[in-house]
A and B are shown apart, each in its own frame.
Chain A
Amino acid sequence: MARPERPFQIGIQRFGLGAGPSSRERLGPDIRAALLDEIRPERARIGGEGLPTTARGIQIVTQIEDKRRMEREARRQVAQQGPAAAMAEANGSAMAAAGMPANPAANPPDPEAVRLRDFLHVDIKARIDHGLAAPAGFAERWVMFWSNHFCIALRRGQIMQGVAGPYEREAIRPHVFGRFADLLVAVETHPAMLHYLDQRQSVGPNSPAGQRRQRGLNENLAREVLELHTLGVGGGYAQADVTAFARALTGWSITGFEENVDGFGGFVFAPNRHEPGPQVVLGRTYGQEGKEKGLAILRDLARHPATARFLATRLARHFVSDSPPPALVAALEAEFRKTDGDLAALARVLVTHPESTRAPPSKIRTPYEFVLASLRATGAPADRLQGLVNALNLMGQPLWNPPGPNGFPDDEAALVAPKAIKTRLEFALQFARPLGGRIDPRELAETLFGEALSAESRQAIARAETRPQGLALLLMAPEFQRR
């Protein structure tokens, strides 16, 4: 059994999803080479027959919404049909109140809710399986970073359940090792983002629809693109830029929600909501027609110097340290500008820069990283999907459901919180118990941490009362929690 060297242990935890019992043997001593080998578009993609699509997701959601609307309508008509019908209805309620179900199959799980959850779970399972199969997991970590950078949230209405999974596979994964501009356009034109940041409700005040319906601009998407996706706070834009950009984006919408447009779940431009006329953003005038105006602004934002700096800082903070080495940030920024936002080149700088591995492990693994690393370390099957979903919920980072458009935090202050750490302990124990002592935690600690294993952790694991307790200690050890 090969015992990993310190650089290997740091590399696979900082940039990957963590080692398994045979990772060191399979990947060899050169973890950098293994990480570089994952900088390939096909490593980031999840494909395959039968995976959900945004079109299908929106179709399901609209079917459910239509059905509920019809049921409401039917009830309303019953109520209007006079006393007899109302009595029949009331009788049913009385029977139910007396403990006699009006319907023999009382309180079945809402079939629509189950259908939507199952639809979502196909994608969650595909994502977890992809992470477990990855040799080192760098491509997946890179996807996870961009998915969080361009986050959407399940909490924003039922439609999100139909689009959250497909969104990552359709808009993010195909572009994470391509150009940032292409990633940006794919994300901002995806139905999931257009819905999440209210874009389909935004109406140009001087557009035909705006004139008719007295509805106006919604700046949400425009603001978050500037503040969170590209330039960053302090990136040199003003409120006038936000408003002008928001006007340029009017008319961007989703098929399935537009009258007179066929299909589900595609991007569609609705000219009758588009604010006419040129817009000035960051001092440049955009006079393109239709959706081209917004796209042109996005492409310019993607290559803006402030964007290069903002992304370089976020990357270094996420992967390396809450206080990232300035030389690393500078190198990432320079590479971004030199290559016009080539994300594969950026990834190569990240994993090969000397400052990337010099810093001691100080970042806490996110809950998702922790869960994946636990599965990879033990080889435990990810067959209790609901259990893993619950665990992420309880650890405060429910998958694809951050509290706001700035995504989940990954800094020490946010992750090293009392309840969060206590919950990790609960997870570690419940995770370790079913493995039933088939794993010797002393051996596993050596094969996972090797040279990085501290004397204190080694002793604590060896002295555990039972093997499951020893395994739980291993999972909670700083060597496992920090990367």
Chain B
Amino acid sequence: MDARYCERLPLSRRGLLGAGMSFFAWAHMPKIASAAGAKDPRFLTIILRGAMDGLSAVAPVADPDYAALREGMALTREGESAGLPLDGFFVLHPAMKTFARLYAEKKGLVIHAAATPYRERSHFDGQDVLETGLPGVGKVETGWLNRALLALPKGEKLPRLGALGVGIATPLVLRGEAPVMGWAPQRLAETNDDLARRVLDLYTHRDPALARALKAGLTADQLAQGGAAMPPGGGDPGMMARAATGAARLMMKEEGPRVAVLSFDGWDTHANQGGVRGRLADLLAGLDGAFAAVEREFGEAWKDTAILVVTEFGRTARINGTEGSDHGTATVAFLVGGAVRGGRILADWPGLKAQHLHDGRDLRATTDLRAVMKGVLADHLGLSPAVLGEAVFPGSGLVKPLPDLVV
């Protein structure tokens, strides 16, 4: 981010529309030292904020109740709505071609019907539980990944090099005493269509004058951008690959961080979620692009890499009245990278019959997401089950780390 560029165009209309504009130029860099260890694993965590619909990303096409619940947007094995083949029971969303290839190469793993212990439906609280690693909502200001780094032996390369938080602010999962550096891709600040829609909706109900003005302002912006209609969803699919590329380059530096967290917004698909194409498809394609970017940038280091993709909760099994889905419970997590023992789907499938759904509406959780996180941290970063059960995920003693997730 070129701060001086920003300062020199204080009155320019381009400031709002063009690239690189930020009210706040921002960057901070870590303290780094030297020396080298033997193993050099790399670990990325991608948090999908807004609750990703696992039943769309990895669709249980062989479940007899799936097609009816997802009428109009269900994926199929064959035909126009065909997903990419996985194991016969599930298909992958067709937007995720890179993951499909990596799955075939046994470097992509799907964990389905997984959820944190959180069973309410607030994004904030759900993300808190996901990131603090606690059994429930609590006022804790540190994240499980930071505590994991803190628990590693002090002299080792990985904790010494610290972690990278991609975004304007350090995500909660990475907050704590272990050193964290931050970096943000330039255009990150422009993904606000979803916010605009929410504010406009609020104004429409509460303040017609503000609604008229905002609506006109948004329309003017569209015209300025070449008349393209406002994309139907939040988030910025193209940004995901850019953010991942930038993060990967920093992680490839000799003294760069080996652990990183990226947050992608826009997954709260209450309306017009789409099927093979549409809002969610664009987001999944963006996520897929992030995988491809990391693989490309890492080169040789890819073989020691694991990328964990998690979201705060899933979405309702049945689509709602606005061609979307509402806040739910269980969903998928992805684990991808050269170090992953992939080509598998881990799922104790609960089924989609009404009596099997959580609260009669959500895919029931049969895997505790903490078991996935603990499994990766144990095998990839070498943390002991005791440390994981106390310092990193307090109160998770009964949740056993999933074995054999990574090589």
A, B: real partners: yes
Interface residues of A (CB under 8 A from B): 109, 384, 386-391, 393-394, 398, 412, 416-423, 425-431, 433-438, 440-442, 454, 456-457, 460, 462-470, 472-473, 476-478, 481-482
The answer to whether B210 and A425 touch across the interface, beta carbons within 8 angstroms, is: no
The answer to whether A436 and B171 touch (CB under 8 A), given A393-B10, A430-B189, A442-B124, is yes
CA A62 to CA B3, docked complex, whole Å:
30
CB distance from B14 to the nearest CB of A (A): 11
**Contact of B272 with A by CB under 8 A:** no
Contacts of B198 in A (CB 8 A): 460, 463-464, 469, 473
Most buried by A among B6, B170, B209, B234: B209
Known: A422-B221, A433-B189, A473-B199. 8 other contacts (CB 8 A): A109-B4, A387-B23, A390-B6, A394-B11, A423-B217, A465-B268, A473-B198, A477-B202
CA A110 to CA B371, docked complex, whole Å:
59
Q: Which one of B50, B206, B268 lies within 8 Å of A457 (CB-CB)? A: B206
CA A427 to CA B15, docked complex, whole Å:
12
Top 8 A-B pairs, shortest CB-CB distance? A436-B169, A422-B217, A418-B217, A418-B216, A465-B50, A433-B168, A387-B24, A478-B207
Contacts of A394 in B (CB 8 A): 10-11, 15-16, 23
The answer to whether A456 and B214 touch across the interface, beta carbons within 8 angstroms, is: no
CB distance from A8 to the nearest CB of B (A): 21
Judged by DSSP, the binding face of A is: helix
Contacts of B7 in A (CB 8 A): 386, 390
* 18 A–B pairs (Cβ distance < 8 Å), ordered by A: A384-B25, A386-B7, A390-B23, A393-B10, A420-B217, A422-B16, A422-B220, A425-B195, A434-B24, A438-B169, A441-B124, A442-B124, A457-B206, A464-B123, A465-B49, A465-B123, A466-B123, A473-B199
CB distance from A481 to the nearest CB of B (A): 7
Contacts of B45 in A (CB 8 A): none
Contacts of B216 in A (CB 8 A): 418
CA A433 to CA B171, docked complex, whole Å:
11
The answer to whether A478 and B195 touch across the interface, beta carbons within 8 angstroms, is: no
Number of A-B contacts (CB under 8 A): 163
CB distance from B270 to the nearest CB of A (A): 9
Contacts of B6 in A (CB 8 A): 386-387, 390
Residues facing A in B1-38 (CB within 8 A) are 3-4, 6-7, 10-11, 15-16, 22-26
Q: Which one of A426, A428, A433, A478 lies within 8 Å of B169 (CB-CB)? A: A433
Interface residues of B (CB under 8 A from A): 3-4, 6-7, 10-11, 15-16, 22-26, 49-50, 122-124, 127, 141, 167-172, 189, 192, 194-196, 198-199, 201-203, 205-207, 209-210, 213-221, 234, 263, 265-268
The answer to whether B15 and A454 touch across the interface, beta carbons within 8 angstroms, is: no
CB distance from A391 to the nearest CB of B (A): 5
CB distance from A393 to the nearest CB of B (A): 4
Contacts of A423 in B (CB 8 A): 16, 217
The answer to whether B11 and A398 touch across the interface, beta carbons within 8 angstroms, is: yes
CB distance from A224 to the nearest CB of B (A): 25
CA A250 to CA B17, docked complex, whole Å:
48
The answer to whether B124 and A467 touch across the interface, beta carbons within 8 angstroms, is: yes
Q: Which one of B207, B217, B268 lies within 8 Å of A419 (CB-CB)? A: B217
CA A114 to CA B194, docked complex, whole Å:
39
The answer to whether A421 and B206 touch across the interface, beta carbons within 8 angstroms, is: no
Q: Which one of B4, B11, B214 lies within 8 Å of A425 (CB-CB)? A: B214
The answer to whether B16 and A421 touch across the interface, beta carbons within 8 angstroms, is: no
Contacts of A434 in B (CB 8 A): 24, 26, 168-169
Q: Which one of B202, B210, B220 lies within 8 Å of A473 (CB-CB)? A: B202
The answer to whether A470 and B210 touch (CB under 8 A), given A421-B217, A422-B221, is no
Contacts of B141 in A (CB 8 A): 438
The answer to whether A431 and B209 touch across the interface, beta carbons within 8 angstroms, is: no
CA A482 to CA B208, docked complex, whole Å:
13
The residue of chain B having its C-beta at the shortest distance from the C-beta of A431 within the complex is B23
CB distance from B187 to the nearest CB of A (A): 13
Most buried by A among B11, B16, B49, B199: B199
The answer to whether A460 and B10 touch across the interface, beta carbons within 8 angstroms, is: no
The answer to whether B220 and A429 touch across the interface, beta carbons within 8 angstroms, is: no
The residue of chain A having its C-beta at the shortest distance from the C-beta of B192 within the complex is A429
The answer to whether A416 and B220 touch (CB under 8 A), given A434-B168, A473-B198, is no
Contacts of B201 in A (CB 8 A): 460
The answer to whether B265 and A465 touch across the interface, beta carbons within 8 angstroms, is: yes
The answer to whether B209 and A416 touch across the interface, beta carbons within 8 angstroms, is: yes
The answer to whether A429 and B189 touch across the interface, beta carbons within 8 angstroms, is: yes
The answer to whether B265 and A425 touch across the interface, beta carbons within 8 angstroms, is: no
CA A386 to CA B2, docked complex, whole Å:
13
The answer to whether B169 and A435 touch across the interface, beta carbons within 8 angstroms, is: yes
Q: Which one of A388, A431, A436, A466 lies within 8 Å of B49 (CB-CB)? A: A466
CB distance from A101 to the nearest CB of B (A): 18
The answer to whether B16 and A460 touch across the interface, beta carbons within 8 angstroms, is: no
The residue of chain B having its C-beta at the shortest distance from the C-beta of A422 within the complex is B217
Contacts of B195 in A (CB 8 A): 425, 428-429, 469, 472-473
The answer to whether A478 and B210 touch across the interface, beta carbons within 8 angstroms, is: yes
The answer to whether B206 and A417 touch across the interface, beta carbons within 8 angstroms, is: no
The residue of chain A having its C-beta at the shortest distance from the C-beta of B22 within the complex is A430
CA A195 to CA B189, docked complex, whole Å:
41
Contacts of B265 in A (CB 8 A): 465-466, 469
The answer to whether A457 and B202 touch across the interface, beta carbons within 8 angstroms, is: yes
The answer to whether B214 and A422 touch across the interface, beta carbons within 8 angstroms, is: yes
CB distance from B12 to the nearest CB of A (A): 9
The answer to whether B221 and A463 touch across the interface, beta carbons within 8 angstroms, is: no
The residue of chain B having its C-beta at the shortest distance from the C-beta of A386 within the complex is B7
The residue of chain B having its C-beta at the shortest distance from the C-beta of A412 within the complex is B209
Contacts of B169 in A (CB 8 A): 433-438, 468
CA A436 to CA B266, docked complex, whole Å:
16
Contacts of A384 in B (CB 8 A): 23-25
The residue of chain A having its C-beta at the shortest distance from the C-beta of B8 within the complex is A109
The residue of chain A having its C-beta at the shortest distance from the C-beta of B205 within the complex is A456
The answer to whether B213 and A387 touch across the interface, beta carbons within 8 angstroms, is: no
CA A425 to CA B23, docked complex, whole Å:
12
CA A80 to CA B92, docked complex, whole Å:
79
Q: Which one of B11, B218, B266 lies within 8 Å of A422 (CB-CB)? A: B218
